[in-house]
Amino acid sequence: MTEFFPTITKSGSKQTPEYCFERRKLILGGVALLTGATANPWLAIAKATHPDALRKINLSGRQRMLIQRAGKLICLAHLTPQPQPLLAAAEETLALHQRTEVGLRKGDQELGLEPETNAIVLQALSQAARVFAPYGKVIRNAINSRVVGPELLGKISGLNDLALREMDAAVNLIETVYRVKERSEQLAMLINIAGRQRMFTQRMVLQLCLYHSTQDSVNYSEFFRTMNRFSISLNILQRVTPTAVSNKMQEALILNLSRVQNNWDTLRPVMSRAVRSYFGSTPDRSFEALIDVDRQAEDLLTKLNEIVLLFEKAYK
């Protein structure tokens, strides 16, 4: 089963303290939810086998990426005199988010999703949808206006983190609820982490674009924090995958993760130079430079999506 992502044309190691902290959050979060299962019958019921379990983790995780992608496309549209291709891609992104939102709750055969029956998961998805609604409205208004004003960027900057945080909480809950067998627990975690990496590729460009447009120091600091989290998560994927996957998918996963690492080694300094160049005596704030960064981030996104699908196949 393939994934859909709107495309954009040119016109349009040592275990660091933060690495350990990221792993500790994963472990403690899982323990807390699993402990709650003994007292909550819904969590206990969810331990039954669900054939679309990893698919749910994949596509709910993709929602995080789509939230960032929609904002990124609107921000890029603000900077170009020809915003229509970017706004069209934003409309496709918003439509995919809305379809997946419904599919996660009610099922969607083409997306490989069965109707959700777990009350706790449904509650989390509904809460994520409520928090996303104001953000989605801003994206829709930007698409309909055909011209993206600076006031819309301020709204995107303020609402996007809220929508992302709520969706991330829902994904982490889904991962914990739908761990179905011992050998799938690590795969569920890896799909979540790899899916989050997809989100980071879009978030970094969004933060770079917002800082390019507003010079907001919050976006500047968050940009480097996101870069660091991408590196840490990639480290985790490379360390855990060889032990978590022992079938024929292992070699393909290791090879693809190596390719992502190579791409990231090239892109990371380019991104750092891009944001730091704003402080020079002759700052480079060209739209073409930003589009080049985005093009490389899109390549990373494609490779990471392939990795998520390989993890799904590794379970089957």
pLDDT tens, 71-118? 999 999 998 888 999 999 999 999 999 999 999 999 999 999 999 999
List b or e across 198-218, with b for residues whose CB sees 16 or more CB atoms inside 10 angstroms.
bbbbbbbbbbbbbbbbbeeee
Q: Which pLDDT does position 27 carry in this prediction?
A: 39
| Domain extents in the chain | 17-315
Return the SS3 of 280: coil
Average pLDDT over residues 143-167: 90
Which pLDDT tens digit goes with each residue over 167-220?
999 999 999 998 765 456 888 999 999 999 999 999 999 998 988 877 666 677
Q: Which pLDDT does position 83 carry in this prediction?
A: 93
**Segment among 38-47, 125-134, 263-272 with least mean pLDDT:** 38-47
Q: Which pLDDT does position 278 carry in this prediction?
A: 59
Beta partners for residue 108, in sequence order: 113
19/56: higher pLDDT: 56
Q: Which pLDDT does position 98 carry in this prediction?
A: 98
Return the SS3 of 113: strand
- Is the pLDDT score of 46 beyond 90? no
Average pLDDT over residues 17-33: 44
